[in-house]
Amino acid sequence: MSHPGFGAHTDPTFQSRPRTTWEVVRRVGVYLLPYRWLALATIAFALLSLGCAIVYPKLTRYVIDDVIGKGEAGALTPVMLLVTGAFLFREIFTSLRIRVNNVLEQKVIYDLRRDVYRRLQRLPVKWFDQRASGDLMTRVIEDVNSVERVLIDGTEQGTVAILSIVGVLTILFMTNATLALVVLAPMPFLLGGALWYTLTAHKRYRAVRAASSAMNALLMDNLQGVRQVKSFGREEHEDGRFAARAEELRQGTLQVMRAWANYSPSMAFMNASGTALVLWVGGSMVLKGEMTVGSLVEFVLYLNLFYDPVSKLHGLNQMLQSARAAGERVFDILDTEEEDSEPGEVTADWKAEGRVVYEGVGFQYGEDRTVLRDISLTAKTGEMIALVGPTGAGKSTLVNLLPAFYRATAGNITIDGRDIRQIPLSVLRRQVAIVSQEAFLFNGTIRENILYGRLDASEADLIAAATAANCHHFIERLPEGYDSKVGERGVKLSVGEKQRVSIARALLKDAPILILDEATASVDTATEKLIQEALEHLLEGRTSFVIAHRLSTIRGADQILVLRRGEILERGTHDELLELNGLYAKLARIQNTTFIEEGFEKLETVEIV
């Protein structure tokens, strides 16, 4: 039963580009090259283990035909010791194979996961806007594991299985060519079954991976919004939504399991049929005196060594189809282009003075949604530019273009006369500090969160930044001081405390340009005063762009830009805009309006806008 709600009609995952099995295997195989000696050692130990196992049928025939059949009792003990030794060395080589294989497995999965995470860190912000975090986590964790399985297990088991089949089949023909031909009788059915499964399984596995991602995306969304769920009493509603996603995963998994339930026993029956045919024909040959009982037992034991790797190949086929679906999802990330950044002439140690110019800047989300139109402005070094306007006016988009979270689709932006497209992204973003209205803290200590502004900062610099941000005193009162854990998204701190820690982080970064999504919109008066004092330290000497939510905070701005529907309607200082007697003046005259957005709503109600 489906339930309406967020994501009820949208897919939180993004579609993967179909890839052939060979393409996935080839690309995954690249990760083996640095560790090819470990891979070869794994295969060598597996073959040595197989070699020890091959000794057993020969010795069994000798015991039956010669030791027992001819009464050579004195040879029984040495032969049994030889059999025991063969089994011992088989397990020793198996143990070595497992150890080497585990080392190889962890090295490869580390490299692959690092590559995926490294690429994620370098993808543009707009790419993440279209993807669910839970889906991306599934790709980095679960899908990488699935890809690794075919890389490691497939390489080792597949290679050993093929060599085993060829080697044992050669021994079977050398032992008894007639019975060896009987062994091959079920092969057309085995190959036909494998072909059917390969051609039909991929679609089912893709559906399972997509359903798993959708469920994980919903889970992460709900965990992050657990307070909203509880405050609205929507536990039952969320139970229903999760149940619907879990049901999709259950049904998809059942389809995979049903196909495997038909495929695997059918292949096992074909193997058993081959063994039955060998016993039938071989038994007749023994009765006719054409072969000994020991030779028939030897052949049947070798037959098990032949059909066992055949069965493994069927299991590897299932693994391969699952890994192919997972590999498509992993390579979708690895194949996505990183953020574009032209090196230009700016060196890594360049620091801007802070003069920012927008010239005819426009921006579109896709072809049918224009957000900014012909934006031109100049911010001199150290000036404060305030942005006001109703929700959806384009304020956040305008400032997000400066650190190149998005690229302008028209016009250009310069810092100190340099086009930001010619500045390496790492250098560009060092010039800009951001303090958002909803402060984000990482799930670590207060010290780690502040040092995120400058990782190599000294203890003195850390304390100085915290003191300037008015958070040193409350941090000292905590049981573990700067080493206190803040919890996920800073949940252990109050809104005002989180905001002051984020200001300390920005102060430590010491960037010449500041973007401030006003930090005092959701706090009490006492906390607001502390934050305002911290912001005064932060704004000092910096070029700042302030998205204003309160009129009281922008009266001293060097420029106030009034935006509506992506265009600048008015610009000037507070006094200049009052004299202009336009939209801003009407907004300022509205009584009992605390937040600017509320003022715009009132203006629209009386049809002034």
- Give backbone dihedrals phi and psi of 456, rounded to 5 degrees, phi first: -95, 15
For the chain, the average pLDDT equals 80
Alpha carbons 66 and 73: distance in angstroms, whole number: 9
CA–chain centroid gap for 215, Å, is 15
Report the number of secondary-structure helices (H) and strands (E) in the chain. 22, 10
pLDDT digits (tens, 9 = 90+) for 182-241: 888 888 887 787 777 767 776 787 788 778 878 877 877 777 666 667 656 777 887 888
pLDDT, position 227: 63
pLDDT digits (tens, 9 = 90+) for 109-127: 888 888 888 888 888 887 8
- Tell me the average pLDDT across 32-49: 88
Q: What percent of the chain has pLDDT over 90?
A: 7
Tell me: pLDDT of 105 over 50.
Answer: yes
- Judge residue 554's burial from the number of C-beta atoms within 10 Å of its C-beta, 0-12 exposed, 13-18 middle, 19 or more buried: buried
pLDDT, position 92: 93
pLDDT digits (tens, 9 = 90+) for 404-447: 888 888 999 999 988 988 888 888 888 988 888 777 888 888 89
Tell me: pLDDT of 608 over 50.
Answer: no
Q: What percent of the chain has pLDDT over 70?
A: 86
pLDDT, position 491: 82
Q: Do 116 and 332 contact (CB within 8 A), yes or no?
A: no
Annotated domain spans of the chain: 21-334
Tell me: pLDDT of 11 over 50.
Answer: no
Any idea how long the chain is? 609
pLDDT digits (tens, 9 = 90+) for 124-161: 887 877 777 777 877 877 777 777 666 666 666 777 77
Tell me: pLDDT of 81 over 80.
Answer: yes
pLDDT digits (tens, 9 = 90+) for 318-338: 777 777 777 777 888 888 887
Beta strands in 285-430 (DSSP E): 356-364, 370-379, 384-388, 410-415, 418-419
Helices (H), 288-391: 293-334
**Residue by residue, what is the 3-state secondary structure of 577-588?**
HHHHCCHHHHHH
Tell me: pLDDT of 258 over 70.
Answer: yes
Tell me: pLDDT of 2 over 60.
Answer: no
312 or 291, greater pLDDT: 291
Tokens of 139: 């790709």
pLDDT, position 210: 78
pLDDT bracket for residue 357 (50, 70, 90): very high
pLDDT, position 561: 92
User: Which range is least confidently modeled, 92-106, 483-497, 526-540?
Assistant: 526-540
pLDDT, position 559: 92
CA–chain centroid gap for 302, Å, is 46
Q: Are strands 384-388 and 543-547 parallel, antiparallel or unpaired?
A: parallel
Alpha carbons 230 and 5: distance in angstroms, whole number: 16
Alpha carbons 356 and 199: distance in angstroms, whole number: 58
pLDDT, position 1: 39
pLDDT, position 377: 92
- Domain 21-334 fold is ABC transporter transmembrane region fold (1.20.1560)
User: What is Dmax (Cα atoms) for the chain?
Assistant: 121
pLDDT digits (tens, 9 = 90+) for 498-539: 888 888 888 888 889 988 876 655 555 666 677 777 777 777
